Amino acid sequence: MINDTLFFMLIVGIIISAGMLLIFVWAARSGQFDDSSKMVNGLLFDSTEDLNDAINKEKNLKEAKSEKLKSEVEKLKEE
């Protein structure tokens, strides 16, 4: 019984750490650790304003992309 519990915990532990590792691998692949000095200093910039900026960045990027797509399509139509 005790051994079963021990084994269960061992497997659960490995699964959890594997999950964490996958998150880390994803983050590293997307380039979040490319700049070590910026990564370390990133901790300092966590005010509400900074977080809002980050969201706005994503939003602007999406908008710009769709806008560009529209204008390209229009250009093609004109031609």
Partner 1 sequence: MSIVKCNHCHLEFNPNVMIKDGNLNFCCKGCQGVYHILKDDGLDSFYDKLGNKTIAPPLEVSNDDLSKFDSKNFLDNYSSTTKEGFTQIDLIIEGIHCAACVWLNEKILYETKGIVEANINFTSNKARIVWDSDKLKLSEIILKIRSIGYNAYAYDSSVADAQASKAKRDYFIRMMVAVIASMNIMMLSVAKYTGFFTGISEEVKNMIHIGEFILSTPVLFYSGWIFFKGGYYGLKNRMVNMDFLVASGSTLTYTYSMFILFGAKGESYFDSVSMIITFVLVGKYLEVIGKKSAVDTLDKIKSSLPLEAVVIQDDTKKVVALNSIKLDDVIEIKAGDKVPVDGIISKGEGFFDESTLTGESIPVYKKIGDSVFSGTINSNSLIEYKVTKDFKNSTFSSIVTLLEDSLNSKPKIQTQAAQISRYFSLTILSLALSTFLVWYFLGLDLGFNYAGANHFEKSFIVAISVIVIACPCALALATPMASLVGISELAKKGLLFKEAKFIESLAVANKVVFDKTGTLTKGELNVVKMRVLDDNIHKLNLLYSILCASTHPVSISIKNYLKEKYALTEKKLDNVKNIEAKGMSAAYTNIEGKTFELLGGNLELLKQNDIHYKFDSNKTVYLFAINKKVIATFELEDEIKDNAKDLIEFLQNKNIEVIMLTGDNENVASNIAKQLGIKSYLSYQTPISKAQYVKELRKQDNVVVMVGDGVNDSVALSSADVAIAMGNSADVALAISDVVLLNSSLKSLKDAFLISMKTYKFIKQNLAISLIYNTVTIPLAMAGLVIPLFAALSMSLSSLIVVLNSLRIKMK
- Tell me which residues touch partner 1 (CB under 8 A): 3, 6-7, 10, 13-14, 17, 20-21, 24-25, 28-29, 31, 33-38, 41-42, 44-45, 47, 49, 53, 56-57, 60-61, 64-65, 68-69, 71-72
Radius of gyration of the chain from its Cα atoms, rounded to whole angstroms: 22
- Least spacing, CB of residue 35 vs partner 1, in Å: 5
How many Å apart are CA 4 and CA 19, to the nearest integer? 23
* C-beta separation of 32 from 39 below 8 A: yes
- Least spacing, CB of residue 53 vs partner 1, in Å: 7
Q: CB count, 10 Å around CB of 26?
A: 10
Cβ closest to partner 1, residue 28 vs residue 51: 28
